[in-house]
Structures are given as structure tokens and as C-alpha cells.
Amino acid sequence: QLQLQESGPGLVKPSETLSLNCTVSGGSITSPSFFWGWIRQPPGKGPEWIGSMIYSGNTYYNPSLQSRVTISVDTSKNQFSLKLSSVTATDTAVYYCASSPRGTWTFNWGQGTLVTVSS
């Protein structure tokens, strides 16, 4: 069974770039059966899909964040990553990595990591 684990800094300064990694265990990130993605949840609010990618390289981003987001994969580490540039306080949230079975855009989530944007 796939398990996903987020890692990265819990505090990022305004205007800087948020960078998170997600390590996949129990399966290969090169599997054509899954999309790999990121979702965030501000405190007390509903989740927001950030974007997803498949190993072959196709990426899909939320238009509201597209200009600031990059999702990429590192096959040597069985990881995928998120970079969100020019962050502000409104980017403070719990960030989750997630897998989606190919053919359905439902999500199975990692445990999440809180990222706070503050100077």
C-alpha cells in the first residue's frame, strides 16, 4: 500500500520560495498508474488542490497558483516536490502530498506538514 510522507521547512519568509518534498514508499513514482500531487489546507478552511503530475512529465496546475507553482519528480529518491514562489501570509497552510489513481482524480493523502509564512 502506498504511503506518502512530506518533508521540508515549517517556516518560510514572505517573498521567498516554499519547497517541500514527498517521499513515496510501497510503490514506484515511475508507475503509470498514479498521478502525484499537492493539496493545501489553510487553518480552519477546506482543502485547495495545488496541482498534480504524472511521471511521464505531464503536469496540471490550479490556475489560481499556476504562475508560482512547480511540481517535479526525483526518481532516484522516489520523491516528488513542490515549489511555490513569492509566498505571502495567505500561503500559510497544512500542505499535503497525495496520490491519485490514474483515471480518477480522487486523493489519498500523506499526513501533512504545516508551513507558516512569517518574517
Partner 1 sequence: EVVLTQSPGTLSLSPGERATLSCRASQSIRSNYLAWYQQKLGQAPRLLIYGASSRATGIPDRFSVSGSGTDFTLTISRLEPEDFAVYYCQQYAASPFTFGPGTKVDI
Q: Which spans of this chain sit near partner 1 (rule: CB under 8 A)?
A: 45-49, 60, 62-64, 96, 104-112
The pair phi, psi for residue 16, each rounded to 5°, is: -90, -175
Nearer to partner 1, 104 or 119 (CB): 104
How near is the Cβ of 5 to partner 1 at its closest, in Å?
Answer: 11
Nearer to partner 1, 28 or 111 (CB): 111
How near is the Cβ of 61 to partner 1 at its closest, in Å?
Answer: 8
Nearer to partner 1, 64 or 116 (CB): 64
Distances (CA, A) of 11 to 18, 46, 54, 111, 119: 9, 21, 28, 18, 9
Nearer to partner 1, 16 or 41 (CB): 41
Rg (CA), the chain: 13
CA distance 9 to 80: 16
Neighbours of 67 (CB within 10 A): 9
How near is the Cβ of 33 to partner 1 at its closest, in Å?
Answer: 15
